[in-house]
A = this chain, B = another copy of it.
Amino acid sequence: MMVSTKGRYALRVIIDLAQHKDEGYVSLKSISERQKISLKYLEMIAASLNRAGLVQSQRGKEGGYMLTKPAAEYTVGAVLRAAEGDLAPVSCLDCGENTCERADSCITLPMWQRLDGLINGYLDSVSIEDMLKGEL
């Protein structure tokens, strides 16, 4: 599995925030109830999104999270990478580090690289707004 629950949940968080973007800061508690994801797990995911600058937070009472830009400017790829790290389909391609000693002679490497390009290209071409509008 290339994308775990962490990434899928992150996507749902961003979508939820987009759907409630006119309500000021949205608390994780409310997202937790709507999305049926535990508050504690959401905290971890929100922290990743925050670190990546995809959301902004407000602490204290009446606090929560909101998007930092319009939904059209979020790509699925960017959200998943913020939550999951790299989206490489094989470890050979992870983080650009090509530590495999047989890389030079590996006849499968070009195939993996093309696959990786295909996956990232597609995920970066789909925006959150596309999904909200059902435009796929």
Contacts and interface: CB of A to CB of B under 8 A. Distances in A.
Interface string A102-116: 000001101100110
Contacts of A119: 89, 115, 118-119
A11 interface: yes
Contact of A111 (B115, B118, B126): B126
* Number of copies of chain A assembled together: 2
Interface stretch (A1-9, A39-47, A48-56): A1-9
Contacts of A131: 107-108, 110-111
A30 interface: no
Contacts of A3: 89-90
16 contacts: A1-B88, A1-B94, A2-B90, A3-B89, A8-B90, A8-B92, A8-B108, A15-B108, A76-B108, A89-B119, A108-B131, A110-B131, A110-B136, A111-B126, A111-B131, A115-B122
